[in-house]
């Protein structure tokens, strides 16, 4: 299964629109455009198809964690 397939399946399963995916990527400090994003959702035989790189998928998953759980809260360290 390719990174493109994983992104497509996540988009469908979570019912995400392109603008929502861009916002999730921003949570992980990763910037992309709608045009770049639409290229990874095209079929492989389309002339504008682009493979989804590991960096994009990794940042999407990191942003998705922040989107669904919220930012990590640091616990106070115990006093000695």
What are the domain boundaries of the chain?
3-69
pLDDT > 80? residue 78: no
In the structure, what pLDDT confidence band is assigned to residue 42 with cuts at 50, 70 and 90? very high
CB-based burial label for 71 (10 Å; 0-12, 13-18, 19+)? exposed
- pTM equals 0.83
CB 72 within 8 A of CB 65: no
pLDDT > 80? residue 50: yes
Distance from the Cα of residue 41 to its chain's centroid: 12
Dihedral angle, C-alpha 59, 63, 65, 69, nearest 10 °: 170
CB 50 within 8 A of CB 36: yes
């Amino acid at each position: 299964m390719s990174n493109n397939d994983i992104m497509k399946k996540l988009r469908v399963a979570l019912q995400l629109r392109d603008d929502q995916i861009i916002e999730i990527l921003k949570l992980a400090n990763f910037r992309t455009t709608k045009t770049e994003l639409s290229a990874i959702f095209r079929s492989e035989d389309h002339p504008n198809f682009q493979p989804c790189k590991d960096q994009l998928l990794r940042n999407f998953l990191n942003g998705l964690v922040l989107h669904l759980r919220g930012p990590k809260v640091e616990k106070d360290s115990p006093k000695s």
